Amino acid sequence: MGKVGSELSVRDFARSWAYLGLALLVMFLAARYLLPYVLPFAIAAALAVIIEPAISQVERRFRVSRGTATGLVLSVVLVLALYVLYLAVAALVTELVELYSQLPRDYAAALRRSDELLRLFGETVQTLPDPLRTSLEGYVASLYQGLAGLVAGLVDGLRRVPRLLTVFLVSVVATYFMARDRREINRFLLNLLPHSWRGRARRANTDVLRSVLGLVNAQLMLVGITAVLTVIALRLAGVSYAVVIGLVVGVLDLLPVVGPALLFIPWVAYAALSGRVLFALYLTLVYGAMVTVRSAVEPRIVGERIGLHPLATMLSLYLGIQFFGVNGVVIGPLVAIVLKALVRSELVPIFPDGPSR
């Protein structure tokens, strides 16, 4: 009897890992090969989940049809998003105009400073031993290549603007239909499953929705932390428009990996070349402290909001970046969310309590 029970236990264990591996393989293939083709609809599904509580509130409180409630909520969200974008662009234009008025003087000072630094650097390099000089020159070449890659990336981003606009428009329209017809879509998808799976699928769907909302909430909290830290640090340094710059840094924080570096790195370089070395050092310390704080609190905040242990959250972020690059910052936690929901709903029967029959 013990031998039979042991064989069943081994078989259940192997089957559990087979289910887990199959689920991970399907999600990996979907994220790698299918997601780029259905990206607008994936964005629409996420937005529909985010605005669902507001739609339900409007539908109940004002006793309007679901289509009307969806249109109202989506319109308010779009107006607010465009208004925030307008404020950010207007503030950026104001800063650029002021910078442009000071540019001739600052440019001349930065040019003189850069010439002095380059001359000093050249003289210092010539006095170094050959191996050290070769290594240093290699680092400088790598730096130039990195800057060239950054510029090429910005140019490539500008080229993608028409495609991004298309994705945006399709996502907005798809969001409306997905949110309006959520019940019909859910019913249709459930009818594709065996009857015995439908209750589990509903539980998994509820778990995924709750976790996605938690993930969005966590990202907004992280953006708020970044913005507040930036505003405080710049106010202490007496920087003008500290609030505006803090808001811009907060928005940039939504960009995976690069984020606030798009603002801080050029700013540090500009300050150093302008002769404000101490201020450049201060900005570097601010950016380093911001990255350190965010890296320390992100796994905990995200993990708490999506119901994962901080270590599991860190693993999902790391593996996501390894497999999907910068997009893995989002894809990794989403895969973890879906996998957790599948396991908890027993759609993927991991490690059953008793022997299978």
The pLDDT value given to residue 122: 63
* pLDDT over 90 at 208, yes or no: no
The pLDDT value given to residue 127: 62
CA distance 41 to 169: 11
Q: Which two tokens stand for residue 316?
A: 């999902």
Looking up tokens 């603002």 gives 263
Q: What is the pLDDT of residues 13-45, one digit of tens each?
A: 777 778 778 888 888 888 888 888 888 998 898
Helix extents (H) in the chain: 2-29, 39-61, 66-126, 130-159, 161-180, 182-191, 195-236, 242-252, 261-273, 277-306, 310-324, 328-344
The pLDDT value given to residue 106: 61
CA distance 88 to 116: 36
Report the share of the chain in percent with pLDDT over 90: 16
Helix extents (H) in 192-260: 195-236, 242-252
The pLDDT value given to residue 357: 42
The mean pLDDT of 162-181, rounded to a whole number, is 89
Those residues whose C-beta lies under 8 Å from the C-beta of residue 345, and which sit 6 or more positions away, are 200, 201, 203, 204, 207
Q: What is the pLDDT of residues 323-357, one digit of tens each?
A: 887 678 788 888 888 888 888 877 776 655 544 44
Looking up tokens 């396991």 gives 343
| More confident of the two residues 100 and 170 | 170
* pLDDT over 60 at 97, yes or no: yes
Q: Which two tokens stand for residue 101?
A: 């008025």
| More confident of the two residues 5 and 180 | 180
* pLDDT over 60 at 133, yes or no: no
CA distance 276 to 110: 10
The mean pLDDT of 155-167, rounded to a whole number, is 70
